[in-house]
Structure 1
Amino acid sequence: MLFASRPSCIKRLLIVEDDPLIAFDNERTLKHAGYDVVATVDSGEAAVAVLAIDQVDALVLDLNLAGHMTGREVARIARDRGIAVLLVTGLPPEDAAEIALACLAKPHAAAALIGALRAIETMICLKKKPRKISGLQTYWRPEAA
Structure 2
Amino acid sequence: MLFASRPSCIKRLLVVEDDPLVAFDNERTLKHAGYDVVASVDSGEAAVALLATEPVDALVLDLALAGHMTGREVARVARDRGIAVLLVTGKCPDDAEDIALACLNKPHSAAALIGALRAIETMICQNKAPRKVSGLQTYWRPEAA
TM-score, reference length from structure 2: 0.97
Instruction: Show the counterpart of 1:66.
Output: 66
**Matched ranges for 1:1-145 at <5 A:** 1-3=1-3, 5-143=5-143
Measured in 1, the distance between the counterparts of 2:24 and 2:92 equals: 22
Measured in 2, the distance between the counterparts of 1:140 and 1:76 equals: 17
Task: Note the C-alpha offset of 1:5.
Answer: 3.4
Which SS does the other structure have where 1:13 is aligned?
strand
Contact 1:103 1:138 in 2 (8 A): yes
Measured in 1, the distance between the counterparts of 2:144 and 2:86 equals: 16
Task: Note the C-alpha offset of 1:43.
Answer: 0.2
Measured in 2, the distance between the counterparts of 1:65 and 1:4 equals: 33
Contact 2:75 2:85 in 1 (8 A): yes
Which SS does the other structure have where 1:21 is aligned?
helix
Measured in 2, the distance between the counterparts of 1:144 and 1:56 equals: 24
TM-score, reference length from structure 1: 0.97
Q: Which runs of structure 1 show a deviation greater than 6 angstroms over 4 or more consecutive aligned residues?
A: none
- Spell out, residue by residue over 1:42-65, the C-alpha distance to the aligned partner (whole angstroms, 9 max, x if none): 000000010000000000000000
Contact 1:4 1:33 in 2 (8 A): no
Aligned residues: percent identity?
A: 86
Measured in 1, the distance between the counterparts of 2:76 and 2:48 equals: 11
Measured in 1, the distance between the counterparts of 2:27 and 2:46 equals: 16
- Spell out, residue by residue over 1:19-72, the C-alpha distance to the aligned partner (whole angstroms, 9 max, x if none): 000000000000000000001000000000100000000000000000000000
Which SS does the other structure have where 2:63 is aligned?
coil
Gapped runs of 5+ residues in structure 1?
none
| Paired amino acid for 1:143 | E
Measured in 2, the distance between the counterparts of 1:116 and 1:43 equals: 22
Contact 2:127 2:143 in 1 (8 A): no
Contact 1:63 1:87 in 2 (8 A): yes
The number of aligned residues is 145
| Paired amino acid for 1:131 | R
